[in-house]
Amino acid sequence: MEMRKWKMDTALIHAGQEPCEKTGAVASAVVPAVAYAFTDVDAAAAVVAGEREGTYYGRYGNPTIASLEAKIASLEKGEAALGVSSGMAAISGALLAFLKQGDHVICTRDVYGGSYKFLTSLAPRYGIETDFVDCTDLAAVMRAIRPETRVLYLETPSNPCLTILDIGQLSRLAHAHGLTVIVDNTFMTPYLQQPLELGADVVVHSATKYLNGHGDVIAGFIVGKREAIQYMRRHIMGDLGQNLNAWDAFLILRGLKTLGLRIRQHCQSAGEIARYLEAHPAIERVYYPGLASHPQHELARRQMSGMGGIVSFEVRGGLEAAKTFMNGLRLAMISFSLGDPETLVQHPASMTHFAIPSGEREAFGITDGLIRFSTGLEDASDIIDDLEQALQPLLKQVASSG
């Protein structure tokens, strides 16, 4: 069967994976080897020079990781993929591959705190400048482009406010000015959105989240043109020591097989929760692209095949109300991650986005009352019951202030 004809749920199981030729084993082998032997000096030299396919040292990959990279590239409709040690390794590696001293980046305004920190702390040490721009406004993006601009960095839906950006329009604008478009697709996964098909050049993922889906791996991926990925493997990931390991690659291969089942449940439950929260008097505002009230709802319907498992919302009463609510949860757990089977909740202003100065956080829409809610795989009615009891104290505050 031709792989390109497979539906996504089939590709998740079979793409990039074949039974072992020697043993017939269906599950991928875990190959933790560091060293690889060669028949002669010329064969070793050819692999090192890139003239022949092969692995020569564990820091640059291994057969287990290669299977996973082939699968990720296939799912994202890219030429090649690179597995790295974390989502931040993917983000920093992709940016460093296209930037050098004196270059400039345009980055979407409400972005993951780790991306913001890299672009404002490490990147300037290497002479790289960044402007954070409202990328829902094409004119604003156009105004921000300088002669030295090299990269447009997007995150859609954004973390944590779930702003949806038009990847196609932004890519056309960027390419007209010779920019490379990098898109963080962590929240959507290739199951719900394929940025390369929409016009982007490079996709990055924190595989720690939905791709692995079980909260027991830290990993990242970069997907793009083969030449660019090969450059990153040899000169970014390899030289910086950002390599993935075989066991984590095996766990992600295993996790990916149920991605479709998991994502569908995440989306269904998140939709129910968003509708429940939008109607709740203790909630100021709900950010969820599946709601008609979301400012980019129609764009989300065109660009994404599902609305994702993250719901962000503002509670009435600011920081103290947010603390009261989060501390009152019994099923949902306070945690920094997302995309796990467990429902996880966090307070961006004091947790994942703390690195962003308070004034800029407010400008980006990250208020003290904002909560990011990663809907797990529990029964949706149990999650809503937990929300209901945790919101009760806030209802009393709303009533007394009203």
Phi, psi of 335 (to 5 degrees): -160, 155
As a whole number, mean pLDDT of residues 233-253 equals 96
Domain boundary at 256, 289, 305, which?
256
The mean of the pLDDT values for the chain is 94
Domain boundary at 197, 230, 256, which?
256
Show the CA angle centred on residue 171, arms to residues 221 and 80, nearest 5°.
30
Residue 170 included in any domain:
yes
Q: CA–CA separation, 195 vs 211, rounded Å?
A: 16
Paired with 154 in beta bridges are 183
Residue 332 included in any domain:
yes
| Residue 396: pLDDT band with limits 50, 70, 90 | confident
283 and 298 co-located in one domain: yes
Domain boundary at 202, 223, 256, which?
256
289 and 374 co-located in one domain: yes
217 within 8 A of 248, measured Cβ to Cβ: yes
Residue 397 above 80 pLDDT? no
Residue 268 included in any domain:
yes
Question: How many structural domains is the chain composed of?
Answer: 2
147 and 196 co-located in one domain: yes
149 and 82 co-located in one domain: yes
* Domain span holding position 97: 3-30+61-256
Would you state the pLDDT for residue 346? 95
CATH code of the domain covering residue 343: 3.90.1150.10
Cβ-based burial of 127 (10 A; exposed 0-12, middle 13-18, buried ≥19): exposed
304 and 178 co-located in one domain: no
Residue 202 included in any domain:
yes
CATH code of the domain covering residue 71: 3.40.640.10
Question: Taken in order 253, 208, 98, 179, is the CA torsion positive or negative?
Answer: positive
Q: Which residues are known catalytic residues?
A: 59, 112, 184, 209
Residue 35 above 60 pLDDT? yes
236 within 8 A of 62, measured Cβ to Cβ: no
246 and 284 co-located in one domain: no
Residue 294 above 70 pLDDT? yes
150 and 209 co-located in one domain: yes
249 and 271 co-located in one domain: no
